[in-house]
Amino acid sequence: MIKFLDSIQAEDLNGKKVLLRVDFNVPVKEGKVNDDFKIKSHQETLNYLLENGAKILLVSHHDNLPSFLSITEEVGEIIGHTMSLVSRFELPALDLLFQTSPILLLDNIRQDKREEENNKELALEISKGFDFFVNDAFAVSHRRHALTSAITEFLPSYGGFLMKKEVDNLSSAIRQDPKGKVMVLGGAKISTKLPVIENFLDKAEKILVGGALANNFWQAQGIKVGASLVEDSVAVSDPVRSSPFLKKGGTDGAGKIFLPKDILISKGWTREKMRDLVSQGYLALGDIKVDPLISEVKDLDFDEAIVDIGPQSAKDFAEIIKKADMVIWNGSFGLSEVGEFTRGTSVIAKAVAEAKQSIIGGGDTIVAAAKLGLLDRFSYVSTGGGAMLEFLAGNRLPGLEALGYYD
């Protein structure tokens, strides 16, 4: 049975040292944090620990920064607490370090390759001198890493307040009556979304599929998608490709899965340019036609790409979403990195914001909603991307497993 932070008596935290797993793996542009949503999401847990006299070592990873040095001061400003950056090799002097500040930030844990190996020796080294471990990083809890899993073998371990919100809200989304529930899925990776679709066939009334995700459905039907983004890494023999309703273009026999009927087509693409756009977040458009054509779904030429859902599909999807009792949305519906191709995602986002209940998640989804000023219009915004999808697919998350969630 999972235990959360509030199960520790407040007086039992006074003077105790807490190892707090957070997720500061945020976009950084020109040395500045470009999106602070994840950082702010840990505020309640941080404040509770500090207000009750605990001393905290924050532990996080970052995929693109070798060190947190360049953003440590800014992160402190975001959370409202001055903190010092420390290396793993300074931890033996923990008591001295905490004399300077009650909150410290351990430098990027991925500097040590043992982290991703779920190495017990690393977990033991970092655990020394601490009284509790608190995992508040739901977004990385689908990874079996040293500071999400192995660490729980060496310290009394708890879930933080953000972790509790994530589990409670996503569990509620799964359990809620399928009638009136709509799943909205976009983005690119069919391999991570298909398990969610399969799990929600009997848990949702309708499943709306858009973005590059729909390209995989059309390609499986035999439609030529040109230079459109598809997940070619999925092998032909993979269960993804052999899924009955994928081959039938989303027809699952119950009429639950809906694909766009019209699309926006842009010319001048190659698969390489498309992948660069997705991986780098920007692209010199060059000869790409940014004034796309509206078309029915059809075979495309080799230099054509689907860049957004069409206006009629956006309208139809929006009407379904607005009438729903519960909407779960993950994944943008167009190439949101290019302003001319964001209309479909914008229409979807505004519709989800009007639904009675709504849960959204995923980096691109949150960025798109934030640009529209809609983040406070949703019932819940999950910090998880991959973790959210794994949870909704009904899979066991190693980080939750280590905390006893499935016991």
CATH number of 327's domain? 3.40.50.1260
* Gap between the Cα atoms of 132 and 53, Å rounded: 13
Q: How far apart are alpha carbons 275 and 15 in whole angstroms?
A: 50
What is the pLDDT averaged over residues 89-113?
A: 94
The answer to whether position 407 is within a domain reads: no
Range from 86-90, 203-207, 365-369 carrying the lowest mean pLDDT: 365-369
Give mean pLDDT, residues 303-310: 92
Per the structure, how many domains does the chain have? Answer: 2
Distance between CA atoms of residues 42 and 259, nearest Å:
37
Q: Does a structural domain hold residue 171?
A: no
CA 343 to chain centre: 22
User: What does pTM read for this prediction?
Assistant: 0.91
169 within domain boundaries: no
Rounded mean pLDDT, 89-114: 94
Question: Is residue 403 assigned to a domain?
Answer: no
> What range does the domain containing 123 cover?
5-164
In this structure, are 46 and 130 located in the same domain? yes
Residues 68 and 153 in one domain: yes
pLDDT confidence of residue 115: 97
23-32, 40-49, 359-368 — which one is most confidently predicted on average? 40-49
**224 and 300 in a common domain:** yes
Q: Is the pLDDT of residue 282 over 90?
A: no
Is there a single domain that holds both residue 136 and residue 210? no
Q: Do 180 and 272 sit in the same domain of this protein?
A: yes
Contact indicator for 306, 215 with CB cutoff of 8 Å: yes
Rounded CA separation 352/333 (Å)? 13
Q: Flag whether 397 is in a domain.
A: no
Same-domain check for residues 159 and 267 = no
pLDDT band at 340 (very low <50, low <70, confident <90, very high): confident
The answer on pLDDT for 249 being more than 50 is no
pLDDT average, residue stretch 170-188: 94
Residue 242 CB contacts under 8 Å (≥ 6 apart), including other chains:
none
pLDDT of residue 235: 41
What is the average pLDDT score of the chain? 89
Average of per-residue pLDDT across 16-37: 94
Residue 263's pLDDT band, with cuts at 50, 70 and 90, is very high
- Together in a domain, 135 and 208: no
Q: Look at residue 74 and tell me whether its pLDDT is greater than 90.
A: yes
Q: Is the pLDDT of residue 290 over 90?
A: no
Are 34 and 109 in a shared domain? yes
Q: Domain end: 97, 132, 164, which one?
A: 164
* Token representation of residue 191: 């391999």
Q: Check pLDDT > 60 for residue 236.
A: no
Lowest average pLDDT, out of 205-219, 274-288, 369-383, goes to: 274-288
Question: How many other CB atoms sit within 10 Å of the CB of residue 356?
Answer: 12
Task: Answer yes or no: is pLDDT of 125 > 50.
Answer: yes
What pLDDT score does 338 carry?
Answer: 73
The least confident of 46-60, 111-125, 148-162, 214-228 is 214-228
Which domain-ending residue is among 137, 164, 191? 164
The pLDDT assigned to 176 comes to 94
The reply to whether 128 and 81 lie within a common domain is yes
Domain final residue pick, 119, 137, 164: 164
pLDDT at 15: 95
Say how many C-beta atoms besides its own lie within 10 A of residue 70's C-beta: 14
Domain check: are 13 and 153 in the same one?
Answer: yes
Averaged pLDDT, 258-271: 90
> Does residue 182 sit in the same domain as residue 265?
yes
What does 343-374 look like in DSSP terms, one character per residue?
HHHHHHHHHHHHSSSEEEESHHHHHHHHHTT-
The arithmetic mean of pLDDT across residues 203-217, rounded, is 91
Domain shared by 271 and 126, yes or no:
no
Q: What is the CA radius of gyration of the chain?
A: 22
**Checking phi first, is residue 15 left (phi over 0); if not, alpha (psi -120 to 50) or beta?**
left
pLDDT for 234 equals 54
In this prediction, residue 253 has a pLDDT band, given cuts at 50, 70 and 90, of very low
| Residue the block writes with tokens 């939750």 | 400
Per-residue pLDDT, 367:
87
**Site of tokens 């219009």:** 377
Identify the weakest region by mean pLDDT among 11-15, 322-326, 337-341.
Answer: 337-341
For residue 398, tell me if it sits in a domain.
no
Residue 405 located in a structural domain: no
Mean predicted confidence (pLDDT) in 2-13: 94
- Residue 158: pLDDT band (50, 70, 90) is very high
Q: Is the pLDDT of residue 89 over 70?
A: yes
